[in-house]
Chain A
Amino acid sequence: MSNQGKSKLTRRDFLRAMGLGLGAAAIGVAAKPLGNTPLNGNPSFEARRLTDPAGRPQRPWWVKTVDKPTIEIDWDMMKRYNEGYKAELGTGTVRGEGFKAYVGEEKDTELNAKSAAVLKDGILNNVPGYTLKDQALNGAQGSRVPMSFVGPQKAKTPEERGVPKWTGTPEEGSRFLRAAFRHMGAATVGFVELDENTKKLIYSFDPDGKELVFTDDPEPSETETTRFIPNTAKSVLVYTVQMSEETMKRSPTPLGQQTTGLAYKRHTVIQASMQEFLRGMGFMGMASSNINAFGIAPAFGVLAGLGEMSRLNRMITPEFGPMVRCFIILTDMPVAFDKPIDAGVMEFCKRCKKCAEACATGALSFDDDPTWEIRGPWNNPGHKAYFEDSTKCMTYWREVGTNCGICFSVCPFAKKDKAWIHEWVKATASAAPVMDGFMRSMDDAFGYGAQKDCEEWWTLDLPEYGTDSSGMIW
């Protein structure tokens, strides 16, 4: 019997076909980021079904859940922080009146005049990042949804609908809340129990000077001087809002600043919406009455496993690096609490120091290890950290007429996560910290973190809010 006319696949042909197939697949995969432009389909839509009962998303293997955060905390040493500066105590926030008290009234007046001059000069001389369009965009971020301690209070409660309030397991509650938060615009979500220790992360005074007092009253309330928080509220809902890494790379300018303003603005919408969602489910939702109020949100973020504390003395997330703002809402709705994480961020910070080197004023710490020693009365003791000199930082803000963000934009964790290399670098940082120094050098060599052209920004077709959630790795 002859084999003539029958096609016979040789090993060589087979391997060649395999090679061609793999090559074609590679081009398809590699070309995906190019096809992912805003003009070509929806770049942000990458839905996954959450299989965890509490709705926790699947995170990569190198993000390990741990019992204690990667910074040491001494709860006995920690006190509730005063976010409204109190002259009689000589401690509290460096913002507002605090800055004036720390640097002196004369210096404050001088810096205010300098700030105004820099901004005006920027417009008159068309300084990139300071032009009229840049400052107009920055000014536009100032219009925000009104914030309040208990929310708008307009949504129908179950009582008003004539039905009982929601009941269910903490896991179900967590899942609903995560889905709602994400739908409203939150990047990541986690939950922390408010106990006698974590209560210390709620401010003693809000920025507007009102005292925050825990009470046995069944409902939250507010007077001219005080906000009362019921002790029945045990669940802290922590969420992040993304900032635009591409925009922040134009810092320090009003153009770079406005991505921070935009994140705060989006947060006001999310906060009010979630307070109303909680009300609709039959629960209370207490939160910031103004920007940077209510509690130390990044600390809650670390406890909720959203990220780790860092050399910036801010939270760095595995997903978006430092390019997030963190916020909290306190409720009596039962939820399943989350644990901190170890993704190798704090260990990386020990060797990297890129942010401290880039800081224009030397406000960030160059210490090899975090310390218990605070740098000034604006820091809150009770945890080991790379404490910053906030007065230097805020002085620079006034000198350049805008907030800064250089430390955020140079951070090696601040990436768009489209190129596979970023995932490999993060995984290596977590699994093999011995490589951290090498990877920091490579980060410089590849030009990551370089400041970008402000005028170019106005020619870019960026995704919504200048962020792209399709790069999410979980």
Chain B
Amino acid sequence: MNDKYVIEIKKRSWVEWLLWAGWLVAEIAILQMAMASGAELEPRAAAIFWVTFFVLLIGGVIVWYMRRSK
């Protein structure tokens, strides 16, 4: 009987960190534009930016979760 467990920890590559940084910057920009479009009284532009923001946010969360549980 084998009573040993092997835990493998994979380090994230710098490329992945760069992609996450890009994702964060895009989210910041889109959030600004969504909120500012509301302040500009441009409802269609605001709606497009909000949808984009949430799609990107949910996508990011899903990818993060999937990679975390690997």
B51 within 8 A of A: no
Interfacial residues, chain B to chain A (CB-CB below 8 A): 17, 20, 24, 27-29, 31-45, 48-49
Q: Please, how many angstroms separate the alpha-carbon atoms of A416 and B40 in the complex?
A: 6
Interfacial residues, chain A to chain B (CB-CB below 8 A): 15, 19, 22-23, 25-27, 29-31, 33-34, 36-37, 246, 415-416, 418-421, 445-448, 450, 452, 460
Residues from chain A with Cβ under 8 Å of B29 in the complex: 420
Beta-carbon contact of B45 and A29 below 8 Å: no
A216 to chain B, nearest CB (A): 53
Beta-carbon contact of B42 and A34 below 8 Å: no
Residues from chain A with Cβ under 8 Å of B43 in the complex: 447
A-B contact pairs, 30 of them (CB 8 A): A15-B17, A26-B27, A26-B31, A29-B28, A30-B28, A30-B34, A33-B35, A33-B38, A33-B39, A33-B40, A34-B35, A34-B39, A36-B39, A416-B40, A418-B39, A418-B40, A419-B33, A419-B36, A419-B40, A419-B45, A420-B36, A445-B48, A446-B44, A446-B48, A447-B42, A447-B44, A448-B42, A448-B45, A450-B44, A460-B41
Beta-carbon contact of B44 and A418 below 8 Å: no
The 6 closest A-B pairs by CB, nearest first: A447-B44, A26-B28, A419-B36, A33-B39, A30-B32, A418-B36
Between A and B, how many residue pairs show CB distances below 8 Å? 69
Residues from chain B with Cβ under 8 Å of A447 in the complex: 42-45
Q: Please, how many angstroms separate the alpha-carbon atoms of A34 and B46 in the complex?
A: 13
Q: Please, how many angstroms separate the alpha-carbon atoms of A419 and B36 in the complex?
A: 5
Q: Please, how many angstroms separate the alpha-carbon atoms of A392 and B45 in the complex?
A: 33
Instruction: Name the residue on B nearest A23 (C-beta).
Output: B24
Q: Please, how many angstroms separate the alpha-carbon atoms of A368 and B5 in the complex?
A: 73
Beta-carbon contact of A421 and B24 below 8 Å: no
Q: Please, how many angstroms separate the alpha-carbon atoms of A460 and B39 in the complex?
A: 11
Residues from chain A with Cβ under 8 Å of B34 in the complex: 30
Residues from chain A with Cβ under 8 Å of B35 in the complex: 30-31, 33-34
Instruction: Name the residue on A nearest B27 (C-beta).
Output: A26
Q: Please, how many angstroms separate the alpha-carbon atoms of A415 and B34 in the complex?
A: 15
B5 to chain A, nearest CB (A): 22
Q: Please, how many angstroms separate the alpha-carbon atoms of A220 and B37 in the complex?
A: 50
Q: Please, how many angstroms separate the alpha-carbon atoms of A319 and B29 in the complex?
A: 21
Beta-carbon contact of B38 and A34 below 8 Å: yes
Residues from chain B with Cβ under 8 Å of A448 in the complex: 42, 45
Q: Please, how many angstroms separate the alpha-carbon atoms of A418 and B33 in the complex?
A: 8
Beta-carbon contact of B39 and A420 below 8 Å: no
Q: Please, how many angstroms separate the alpha-carbon atoms of A34 and B34 in the complex?
A: 11
Given A33-B32, A418-B36, A421-B33, 9 more pairs with CB closer than 8 A: A25-B28, A26-B31, A30-B31, A31-B35, A415-B40, A418-B37, A418-B39, A446-B45, A452-B41
Residues from chain B with Cβ under 8 Å of A34 in the complex: 35, 38-39
Instruction: Name the residue on B nearest A15 (C-beta).
Output: B17
Residues from chain B with Cβ under 8 Å of A418 in the complex: 36-37, 39-40
A75 to chain B, nearest CB (A): 41
Residues from chain B with Cβ under 8 Å of A26 in the complex: 24, 27-28, 31-32
Residues from chain B with Cβ under 8 Å of A19 in the complex: 20, 24
Instruction: Name the residue on B nearest A452 (C-beta).
Output: B41
Instruction: Name the residue on B nearest A246 (C-beta).
Output: B41
Residues from chain B with Cβ under 8 Å of A415 in the complex: 40
Residues from chain A with Cβ under 8 Å of B48 in the complex: 445-446
Q: Please, how many angstroms separate the alpha-carbon atoms of A452 and B41 in the complex?
A: 10
Beta-carbon contact of A27 and B33 below 8 Å: no
Beta-carbon contact of A419 and B32 below 8 Å: yes
Beta-carbon contact of B36 and A33 below 8 Å: yes
Residues from chain B with Cβ under 8 Å of A25 in the complex: 28
Q: Please, how many angstroms separate the alpha-carbon atoms of A26 and B31 in the complex?
A: 8
